[in-house]
Chain A
C-alpha cells in the first residue's frame, strides 16, 4: 500500500528526443497544420499522456481514449502555446491535466493565464527562430533529479496519483503538515535552483 513506484525512467531513452524537436513539431502544427509533425508529437507524447491517465486511475481503454482526446486538443489549441512562457511539456501537461479533471473528476477547473501577451502566439513562434529554451528545462530536470526521495514521493503522489494533501497524508501515514512541508522544501529547492526571485 505504501509503495510509490518510481516513475522516472533512468534508462534515458527520452534523451534521444531534444526539447527543441517537440517545439518545432508543435510550431509546424500551429503554423502549417502539419500532420506529419503532429504524428511525431503523438509518438512522443501520447504514450506518456496515457501513462499519466493510468496513474490517475483510468483503466487501460479509458486512458487510451483520454490520451487520444488530449492529442486532438493539442492539435486544435496548438496556436495557444507560447514558447517564450513555457516548455512544450508544460503546456501538454496542462492540456492533459485539464481534460483529466473534466472527464474523471467531472468538475470545472479555473486556470489563470500564465502568459503575458497572448494576442498572437503564432507571431511569437515565428519571431523566435533562434530558439532558446525559455524555461531552462535541462536545469529543472537536474534539480528534480536531485530531490530527496521522500520529497519526490510526495510530489509524484500529488502530480500523478492526483492525491490532495490529506490523501497523500493518508497514503504515506504521515501528518498533513509533513506532506506540506515536504512539498515546500522540494519547491524551495526548485525556486532556488532556477534562480527565481520568488
Chain B
C-alpha cells in the first residue's frame, strides 16, 4: 500500500510522549499498522523519550520500594516466557479497528447526518471534548465547509476524498490543526469511509466564545 499522507512530526512526538487522547492514539495506531514511514519516526520519537528518561535526575526510592517489588514478583507464577503476539493485519483495515467493527463496515448501525453522509460513533473512547467516529460519504458529496476547535485526524479506510490539501485514499492520514478550513469531497465510484478523531481539549473557556461551532460536529 502506497501511502502519501502522514502524521505530522509534532503529532508523532505527542504520541510518543503519551499526551494525545485515546481517540488520537487509536487513529494513529490504525495508520501506523499500515505505514512504515510513520512507524520509523515513531521509533525515533520513542528513543528520544528513552534517552530523556535516562538523563532524568533520579528521585530516591522509598526504603521499602525494592522489597515491595521483590515480593510482588516472588508471588508471580507466570511462565517466564510468554509468547508475544503481534497484531495481524487483515485486508486493508487496520487490525486495531476490528474490535470496533467486528462484522464489517456494512453491518454497522450507521446514522444519517445529511443526504449522502452517514456516521457511526465509536463509543467508550476517551477524547476530551472531541469524539471518534466513522464517516461514510457518498461519491460526489461535499462535506460543508467547517473549521475545527482542536486538531483532527482523519484516516481513510475505504474509497477516497479530495480537499484543498490533496487526494486521500485508503491508508492516508490527514493531520489537521485548528486553523485549517477544508471542504472534503468524496471521489471515485464508492463511498469514502473515514475514521475521524477530534481532540478538543481546550481548558480555557474564554477562548470558546471565539470559536466557530462546527457545522456537523466533525
Q: Which residues of A contact B (CB under 8 A)?
A: 7-9, 14, 30, 33, 35, 38-39, 42, 46-52, 54-55, 60, 63-64, 67-68, 71-72, 75-76, 79-80, 85-94, 96-98, 100-101, 106-115, 118-122, 135, 137, 140-141, 144, 155-156, 158-160, 162-167, 170, 176-177, 179-181, 183-184, 187-188, 190-191, 194, 196, 198
Given A48-B54, A90-B49, A137-B54, 8 additional A-B pairs, CB 8 A? A42-B66, A47-B58, A89-B50, A110-B25, A112-B39, A114-B39, A137-B47, A190-B48
- The number of residues on chain B lying at the interface, defined by a beta carbon within 8 Å of a beta carbon of chain A, is 73
Chain B residues with CB under 8 A of A86: 43, 46-47, 50
B65→A164 contact, CB < 8 A: no
Q: Which residues of B contact A (CB under 8 A)?
A: 8-10, 12-14, 16-22, 25-26, 28-29, 32-33, 37, 39-62, 65-66, 68-70, 72-73, 76, 78, 80-87, 96, 125-126, 150-151, 177-179, 201-204
Beyond A107-B22, A176-B178, whether A196 also contacts B80 by CB under 8 A is no
- The CA-CA distance from A35 to B10 in the complex, in Å, is 39
Could you list 29 examples of A-B contacts with CB < 8 Å? Answer: A8-B55, A30-B81, A35-B70, A39-B66, A47-B60, A48-B56, A50-B60, A51-B58, A64-B61, A67-B61, A89-B51, A90-B43, A94-B49, A106-B126, A108-B25, A112-B42, A114-B43, A118-B86, A120-B84, A137-B47, A159-B52, A160-B52, A164-B14, A166-B150, A170-B204, A180-B10, A183-B13, A184-B9, A198-B37
Chain A residues with CB under 8 A of B78: 76
Chain A residues with CB under 8 A of B80: 30, 33, 79
B32→A162 contact, CB < 8 A: no
Chain B residues with CB under 8 A of A164: 14, 19-20, 201
Chain B residues with CB under 8 A of A7: 52, 55-57
Residue of A nearest to B24 (CB): A110
Chain A residues with CB under 8 A of B42: 112, 114
Chain B residues with CB under 8 A of A90: 43, 46-47, 49-51
Name the one of B39, B55, B72 contacting A9, with C-beta atoms under 8 angstroms: B55
Residue of B nearest to A50 (CB): B59
Chain B residues with CB under 8 A of A158: 13-14, 17, 19
Chain B residues with CB under 8 A of A170: 203-204
